[in-house]
Each structure stands twice: as structure tokens, then as C-alpha cells.
Structure 1
Amino acid sequence: MDRWQAMRIFVKVAETASFSESARQLHMSAPAVTRSVAALEDAIGARLFVRTTRSVKLTEAGDRYFDDCRRILSDILEAEAAAAGSYATPSGTLAVTASLLFGQMYVLPIVTDYLDAYPTMAARTLFLDRQVNIVEEGIDVAVRIGHLPDSGFTAVKVGSVRRVVCGAPSYFEKHGVPTTPQQLKDHRIAASTSAWASPEWRFAREQRVTVHPSLQCNTNEAVISAAAAGWGLTRVLHYQIGPALLDGRLQVVLSDDEEPPLPIHVVYAEGRQAPAKVRTFVDAAVTALRANRLLN
């Protein structure tokens, strides 16, 4: 008995819950499928299916064996793909995650450029302001901001971000420029209640200022808009105001009092051998992010 072929037939029967449908999909005769499953049951000494005239269901032993067979067959296909060279050419769907605004502003253009370079590829993005579990959520590549915990993942540093206080030139003309963190108490503050937000703003040399915002918004985009309109000051990660800094709508103040910057890493689970879709995307992402002067 060809054990690999028998396992393949068994998995198909389990997936379709039908001997006849499995035979059709595998281009085999129904009796041949039945004989193969019976021989497999004899070989392992356990009944794999409960068969009736109307249904085919896995036994408890069959259910456990089904999971093992799928894993084994997947490993075999992976090994064959590597030997055949598919690990040298990007293929399949690439899953990428990053924080919401960073992903939209800086990662999405890299993804679309990557798809232009590899037209047969597809991509799925997951941009959220929460830590995504790379393994459980099927992610190939993550772009992380902040210090990383110890893990078995590969991480490549590509830049850094700063927490900055900013405002519009029109605001500073009317209300002056704060020169110390303590002077923020004399200014109107717009603060975000989203990720990274805290009423205590920390600065270099262990300086801490508790702010009392006149305006609280649940998104960073909203407080950035308020600051750019000249309403007041806000504090965000500097990549979030990149376009506004470049065109002069916002200016950073208190630069000498900023905390140390947070690192940015491209992270991926290398496994036995990272497939081509991961390697090529990581190369593209590392190059693009390191070249972005707003992130360095």
C-alpha cells in the first residue's frame, strides 16, 4: 500500500464526507477509494469512519488521525515545493500587519508596489492599533513600533519614531512657543484617547507633566486636524504628522525634551525557511522604510 496516497485519499474523504465525491475529485473509481481507506484502517488497526447509507463521519480516532494526516501532507507538499523551486519565486497570498495609521500611511504603499512588481501575488493587510498574534492570525510579516519581547521571530530594525508635541504656526503666533514641558499647562491641549494615550506626558530627564486637555478625541487623526487648524497643541508619534510637517501646517516644539525614540522593526516568523513571498517583501519593506527620512 502506498501510505502517502492512502493518507491523501483518507483526507479527501474526510473533507468531503463522501466516498463518491472524493473519487470524482481524485479521478478514481469509488471502489478504489473504498479499498484504499479499508487498507489504511487495517494497517493502523483502527476504524476511521462510521459509514451509513446517508452519511460518512469520522470516528474519534479518525478525527485525530485526520489532523495528523493534514499536517504530514502539508509538510510533504512544502518539501516538494522547495525542491521544485517555488521557494525561489513569490507565490500565494501575503499577509501583513501594522498599527492602523502607520499601516495606512507607510506600509500600504509598499504592499501595492510589491503587488505591481509581482502581479501573480495577492496580499491581505491587517492594520489595527493592537498587538496581532502573528502565528494565530496567519500573518507573514509584521511592522512593529516599540521595543520587542524575546521571541523566536526574525526582526530587522528599519527606523525609529518619536513622541512629539506640535502645533500650527498660526497658534504659535497668537499664544507663543512653549520652551519647557511645564509651560504646556498654559496652552490649549487636544489629546487622543486611542493607543499610546495617557494624561501624563513624559519627557527626557524624567520630566513629567499631567495635561488637562480641553479637547479629547478618540482618534489621532482628529487631534492632528485640530492642531493643524491652529486650535491648540497635541502630542503624537511624529510619523503620524509627516505630511503636515513637510508642508508646514505643523511644527514640532520641545524637541530637546523628547523621550528616546521607539524603534521600528520588520518582523517575520522565519520557520525552517522563509518562502520567497516573505523574503522578497521583507527586502522591499526594509529598503523603503529605511529610505523614508520621516522614520529616521
Structure 2
Amino acid sequence: MDRFESMAMLVAAIDNGSLSAAGRVMHVPLPTLSRKITELEARLGTRLLIRGTRKLTLTDAGVAYVAAARRILEQVDDAEREAAGEFQTPKGELVITAPVFFGRLHVLPVVTDFLALYPEINVRLLLVDHNMHLIDEHVDMAVRIGKLPDSALYATYVGPMRSMVCASPHLLATHGVPTVPDDLRRFPIVRVAMPVPTPGWQFRSPDAGGVVDIPVSPRLAVSTAEAAVQAAIRGVGVVNLMRYQVLEAIQAGQLKPLLEPFELDPSPIHLLHASRGQMPLKMRCFLDFARPRLQAILA
């Protein structure tokens, strides 16, 4: 029996919440994965998992064993990377993810300059608007916009990003200019459709010192920020987007910022990576290369 393989399957089962989910992540048939864990328990002479109908629960022995297995697997992973030279020479594949619009505008130019400087590193840049799971999906580094939840990941702050409400000069000429957030109730709205829709837009309340929610009903809902910008330029409605998404249209006079005194605090942008042992040199080189360049852009 491959003990390391069985350890990895057990850890994957706990991290993913079920044997079937772990099997999908590891591309292993469920009966094989279940048998491997059962064989591991038999070898150890103790039960590690309580397999309930809804979730997996570790026994006391399982808690201790999984903690030790994580350390062992991380040490083996680091040893393999070191043997391959990733800790002495910046080389190998680097997997980076970023939001689509921000990635195209700002991350891609940084990556192309980085590749010119490090000929032994290859980059796979994944531009998606959902948060990928760094460990499960084998991602080395992520650009994240917004407040981060508590996790066992390392985050490097690179700068702030405002959200801005904008509309076309034509729309404002037709409907007037809103002076307070509540005025938006009489305006057509363009929204980017989210997996979990929010009831409205939030603004700072200068008088109350808190936050107010303004319910908005979209005249048009689209799937990307770029489509929302184009719709707003055409006068379909008001948009509420990140500054980098509307900056070009504002500079061209196609959109006008609105309600700036009521904006919420800017969202932080971080470079995120897993805190797993020693960092491979390819990741350290990219972090040191990308951080000052992104900071200059956001400044």
C-alpha cells in the first residue's frame, strides 16, 4: 500500500467534506478512495473517520493523524520541489489567477514583462471572475479584490480600488443628475448579474455616519463588467463598477462619475498564495516583481 497516497486521500476527504468530492478532485473512483482509507485504518489498527450520511467526522485518533499527515505531505512536496531545483533557480510553471477585466488590463502586462526577465518560468494565467481554491485547483497565486476572509493563506497588500457610480452624459441630460443616493430610484440601472444577487447598492451616509442600502431594479442585467460599461456608454442606465473598469470611459468623456461624496471606503487588492512551507523561488520572484508594479498602477 502506498502510504503517502492514502494520506493524501484522507486529507482530501476532510478538506472537501466527503469521499465523493475528494474522489472528483483527485480523479480517483470513489470505491478506490474508500478502500484505500479503509486499508490505512486497518494498517494503523484504529478508526480515523466516522462516515455519516451528511458529513465526515474525524475521531480523536483521526484528528492527530490528519495533522501529522499534512505536515508529512508538505515536507515531501517541498523536498520534491527542492530536488527539482525550484528553490535554487527560478524555473517551472507558475499558475496565476485574476479577475477577467483587471487581469487583462493590469496583470497580463506584468506577466509578459516577467516572462521576458525569467526565461525558465512558464506562466498559466487564469482570468476568471470567481474565486478559485488555490490548493484544490493547484493555483500558485491569486489577485483578489475585496476584503479577505480569515484563512491559512498569505496575503500581500498592493493597493486600494474605488467603486464608482457612473452614467453617460446623454442619460444625465434626459433624467437629470442625482445628488443623493436615493435619487437613483428614478433612474434605469445596468447591473452585472452575480451568482448571489444583492438587493441594492450601498453608500456612505454622511449624516448618520453609517451605510445606507438603496434598492435598485436593473433595466438591463449583463454577465460581464465590460458589457455593463458599453451599455452605460450607450445610455441604457447607471452602473456601479470598480474604478479600473470605468476609467477609460471616464477619461474619454463617455461616462460621468456620480455621488462621489457617498462612496464607500475603497476595496483592498491583495496578492494571495498558500502558506505551505518554503516558497518556491518562482513564486518569490513573481511576488517581488509584481507587487511594486501593481502598487504603482493603483497609486
Is TM > 0.5 for Structure 1 vs Structure 2?
yes
Aligned to 1:42: none
Residue 237 of structure 1, CA deviation: 1.8
SS in 1 for 2:158: strand
Moved more, 151-160 or 138-147: 151-160
Partner of 1:93: 93
CA-to-aligned-CA distance 1:223-264 (integer Å, 9 cap, x gap): 210111233211112221232223332221101111122111
**Residue-by-residue CA offset, 1:182-219 (whole Å, 9 max, x unaligned):** 11122222222136853411111222211122222222
Q: Which residue of 1 aligns with 2:54?
A: none
- Paired amino acid for 1:243: E
Q: In the alignment, does 2:174 pair up with 1:174?
A: yes
| 1:7-28 deviations in Å (ceiling 9; x for gaps) | 9xxx9xxxxxxxxxxxxxxxxx
| 1:197 to 1:102, Cα distance in 2 relative to 1, 3 A | farther
Whether the 8 Å CA contact 2:165–2:259 is kept in 1: the answer is: yes
Unaligned runs of 5+ in 1: 1-6, 12-58
Q: State whether structure 2 residue 166 is matched by structure 1 residue 163.
A: no
Q: TM-score, normalised by structure 2?
A: 0.69
Residue of structure 2 equivalent to 1:110: 110
- Cα offset, 1:170, TM superposition: 3.0
Q: How does 1:24-173 map to 2 (within 5 A)?
A: 75-80=78-83, 86-173=86-173
Letter in 1 for 2:223: N
Once the two structures are TM-superposed, the CA of residue 149 in structure 1 deviates from its matched residue by 1.8
Task: Give the percent of matched residue pairs that are identical in Structure 1 and Structure 2.
Answer: 36
Equivalent residues, number: 233
Cα pair distance change 1:265/1:172, threshold 3 Å: same
1:265 maps to a residue whose letter is H
TM-score (norm 1): 0.69
Unaligned runs of 5+ in 2: 6-34, 44-68, 206-210
Cα distance change, pair 212–150 in 1 and its aligned pair in 2 (3 A): closer
Could you tell me how far 1:77 is from its partner in structure 2? Answer: 3.6
Counterpart for residue 21 of structure 1? none
Q: CA deviation at 1:272?
A: 2.2
Structure 1's consecutive aligned runs of 4 or more residues displaced over 6 angstroms after TM superposition are 69-73
Residue identity matched to 1:180: V
Q: Secondary structure at the match of 2:218?
A: coil
Partner of 2:188: 188
What is the alpha-carbon distance in structure 1 between the residues aligned to residue 74 and residue 259 of structure 2? 55
Matched-pair contact (CA < 8 Å) for 1:129–1:195: no
Q: Secondary structure at the match of 1:204?
A: strand
Q: Which residue in the other structure is 1:25 paired with? A: none
The higher radius of gyration belongs to 1
1:247 and 2:252 are equivalent in the alignment: yes
Task: Return the offset for 1:173.
Answer: 3.1
> For residues 139-176 of structure 1, what are the alpha-carbon distances to aligned partners after superposition, in whole Å with 9 as ceiling and x for unaligned?
11111111112223221111122222101223323332
Confirm whether residue 281 of structure 1 aligns to residue 286 of structure 2. Answer: yes
Structure 1 residue matching 2:198: 3-state secondary structure: coil
Whichever residue aligns with residue 120 of structure 2, its letter is T
Matched AA of 1:289: L
- Give, as a single letter, the amino acid of the residue that structure 1 aligns with 2:238: L
Name the residue aligned to 1:218. Answer: 223
Equivalent residue, structure 1, for 2:277: 272
What amino acid sits opposite 1:78 in the alignment? R
Once the two structures are TM-superposed, the CA of residue 98 in structure 1 deviates from its matched residue by: 1.6
Instruction: Note if 1:229 corresponds to 2:221.
Output: no
RMSD of aligned Cα (Å)? 3.0
Question: Structure 2 CA distance, aligned partners of 1:60 and 1:117?
Answer: 45
**Match for 1:97: what amino acid?**
T
Distance in 1 (CA, whole Å) between partners of 2:104 and 2:138 is 20
In 2, Cα distance between the equivalents of 1:251 and 1:193? 22
Partner in structure 2 of residue 47 of structure 1: none
